[in-house]
Amino acid sequence: MAKSTTDNKRKRHQPTINTVGDNIRALRLEKGMTVKNLAELAECEAKLIYNYESGKVDISVSMVYFLAVALGVEPHTLLIPKV
């Protein structure tokens, strides 16, 4: 039963997860960075960046901050859907 609760939460938050991941990817590419470059600047594993960008894992507030710093943007920039 716990798994279905987790699955339901993930489905409910998926648009937000996708927004953050899409924004990370767009900003990274805009700045000409590879996943590996961004991971080094954010002091995390490249696989974690890939998972954020593909919406496979939830992102913590602290990682939003570290990635925003690494990308040279304000943290809220990663949270706002692009129109």
Q: What is the pLDDT of residues 34-45, one digit of tens each?
A: 999 999 999 999
Per the domain annotation, does 83 fall within a domain? no
Per the domain annotation, does 26 fall within a domain? yes
Domain assignment of residue 54, given as a range: 2-78
Provide the Cα torsion 48, 60, 26, 68; round to 10°.
-110
Per the domain annotation, does 42 fall within a domain? yes
Does the global pTM surpass 0.85? no
* Distance from the Cα of residue 9 to its chain's centroid: 17
Looking at residue 18, which CATH number applies to its domain? 1.10.260.40
pLDDT tens figures, 24-79: 999 999 999 999 999 999 999 999 999 999 999 999 999 999 999 999 999 999 99
Provide the Cα torsion 14, 19, 55, 28; round to 10°.
-170
DSSP-based helix, strand, coil % in the chain, nearest 5: 70, 0, 30
Phi, psi of 55 (to 5 degrees): 75, 20
